[in-house]
Amino acid sequence: MQSIIDALSAGHDDNGGQINIAKREIKGTVVLMKKNVLEFNDFNASIVDRFDELLGRGVSLQLISSVHGDPQNGNKGKLGKAAYLENWIPTIAPLKTGETAYDVTFEWEEEEIGVPGGFVIKNNHHNEFFLKSLTLEDVPGEGRIHFPCNSWVYPAKRYAKDRVFFTNKSYLPHEMPLPLVKYREEELVGLRGNGQGELREWDRVYDYACYNDLWDPDDGDADNARPTLGGSAEYPYPRWGRTGRPPSKSDPKVESRLPLLMSLDIYVPRDERFGHLKMSDFLLNGLKAIVQIVKPELEALCSEDGNEFDSFDDALKLYDGGVKLPRGPTLDNLWKDIPLDIINLIFHTDGERILKYPLPEVIKESRTAWRTDEEFAREMLAGLNPVVISILQEFPLISHFLHTHAVIEPFVIATNRQLSVVHPIFKLLHPHFRDTMNINALGRQVLINGGGLMEFTLYPAKYCMEFSSSLYKHWNFTEQALPQDLKKR
C-alpha cells in the first residue's frame, strides 16, 4: 500500500531517484448562459443536456501551461488533467434570462503545469451554451487568474479543433509565451477557414465574398436583377462575410438567397450574431415581412404620388392607433417564425394584430413640442444643428450604410483573421465592431436587395446600390481619421 501511495505522490528524476511533485487542487468558477435560457426557454435543450450529464457526457476543461511545453505534442503547452463542471443537473435554470455559475476543481501540478495561460473546453452535451468566463482562485504565485470568453461553445463533434481560451493578458506576437504560440496559430487558422463549402451556424469562419446575393435569378423577376458589387473596376465595393451558399440555378455567378422568413438564419459567425436583447430590438427582418403584407394599408396613409404623408395628422396616426393587419396564411407563418417575445414588442397583445410604433420622446408630452424654443435649444446643445436647412445631397444608403456598415465589415473580417484575441489592438477594436456583420447580413436580405425597403423608399430606387458603388470609388482610407474626416465633412 505504501508503494502505491509513493507512486501517486512522487515522481522520479533522471537518475531513478524519487522527487516530490507538488499537487494541489485549484478551485475555479465558470460562468455561462444555457441555450434554454437564451433561446426563449428551450425546454427540450435543458432536458437533453441533463440526460447527457446522467450518461457521463459533461463539460470538461483542461488547463494549458504557459511555462512548460510538451515535446510529444510539438512543444505546445502541457495539458492538465480534465476537470468537469460540477452540479449541472441540480442547478435549475432561472425563469428569466441570466447567468449561471458552476464550480470546477482542477488537479494542479506545479512542476508539470506551472502557470496556466489558457484552457481547452469540450462540450459533450447535445446543445450549445454561451461561455462567459472562467476564474481561477489562489493560483500559487499568481493569485486570481481570469479567462474572459464571451463565446458560444457548440458540441465538441462540431469542431475540427478543440476550443481554446486564453487569459485576459495582452500579448504582441513576439511576447506570447512559447508554449501558447501554436494554440494561438491554430485558432487563427480555424477562423480563416478553407474557403470551401457552405458555412453553418457553429462554424467560426471569417472569409471574404462580393455582394453577389442582392437578387434571386430563380424567382423569374428580371426587374429585380442587380449587378454583383465588388471584385470589378466597374462596380467596386467592400467585401462582406462569405456564407458559402450554393449558386442560384439560373445564374451560377449569383449566390442563392434564403426565403424571407428564414432571413434570421443567414450565416454570420455565431459570436457576431445579436444577443437575445439586441435581437428583440432589431426587427428589420420582421418589419420587412410585415410591410410586404400590409403594403396596401401603409400606402393608404401616404399620398398617391409618392411615399409621403399628406399631413402631420396622417403620420401621427401610426402612433395613435397603428395599422391593423389583415389575417391570412402568410401572416400566420410569420407569427410562427418570429419568437413571441419579439412579437409582443411590435404588436398589441389584445388579439387585434395592430402594427404599432413607439411614440418619439419629443412628442410624448406635447404633439407640438418639436417646434418649441426649448426643443430648439436642446437640439442645438446636442449638436443636431436644427437651424441648418439644406437640400439632401447624399441619400442615407451612401452616408450611413456605405460609410458606417459596408466599409467596416472588411476590417471586422481582417481583424479576426489576422489578430489573436490576446493582441492589444484586437481588444481595442472588437467592441467597436459588435453587431456589424449581423446588421449587414440582414440588410442584404431585406434592405439593400433588389426590391427591398431601400429601393422602395429612396428616390434612386433600383439604382441605389450602383450609386453607392460609384461613390465608393472615391473612398479613401487616409481620409477617415481626424482631422481629414472633419475637413471633408
Given a contact cutoff of 8 angstroms between Cβ atoms, the answer to whether 401 and 443 are in contact is yes
**Can you read off the three cell numbers belonging to residue 172?**
504582441
134/46 Cα distance (integer angstroms): 22
CB 57 within 8 A of CB 73: no
Residue ranges covered by each domain of the chain? 25-192, 208-488
| 195-243 pLDDT tens trace | 999 999 999 999 999 999 999 999 878 888 999 999 999 999 999 999 9
pLDDT value at residue 313: 78
**pLDDT one-digit tens code per residue, 375-418:** 888 877 776 666 655 555 555 566 678 888 999 999 999 999 99
Chain centroid, CA 320 distance in Å: 35
Cα separation, 291 vs 303, in Å, equals 17
**Helices 436-446/284-293 angle, 10° precision:** 10
483 cis-preceded (ω within 30 degrees of 0): yes
CATH topology of domain 25-192: Lipoxygenase-1 (2.60.60)
Q: Which ranges of the chain have pLDDT less than 70?
A: 1-22, 36-57, 89-97, 276-309, 321-357, 383-399, 489
pLDDT of amino acid 488: 74
CA angle 132, 134, 139 (to 5 degrees): 160
Looking at the whole model, is its pTM more than 0.95?
A: no
Rounded to an integer, what distance in angstroms lies between the CA atom of residue 462 and that of residue 449?
9
Among 226, 191, 224, 221, CA closest to 211: 226
> By the 8 A CB rule, do 63 and 80 touch?
yes
Cell numbers describing residue 247: 449558386
Q: What pLDDT, on the 0 to 100 scale, is given for residue 58?
A: 84
Is 193 in contact with 205 (CB distance < 8 Å)? yes
Rounded CA separation 481/486 (Å): 8
How far is Cα 187 from Cα 164, in angstroms, rounded to an integer?
8
Counting every residue written for the chain, the total comes to 489
- Report the distance separating Cα 100 and Cα 30, nearest Å: 8
Name the β-bridge partners of 19: 11
User: What is residue 214's predicted lDDT score, i.e. its pLDDT?
Assistant: 93
Question: How many angstroms separate the CA atoms of 203 and 197, rounded?
Answer: 11
Residues 6+ apart with CB under 8 A from 468: 229, 237, 397, 398, 401, 402, 406
- Say whether 214 sits in a helix, a strand or coil: coil
Whole-Å CA distances, 343 to 169, 273, 277, 321, 416: 42, 19, 13, 17, 34
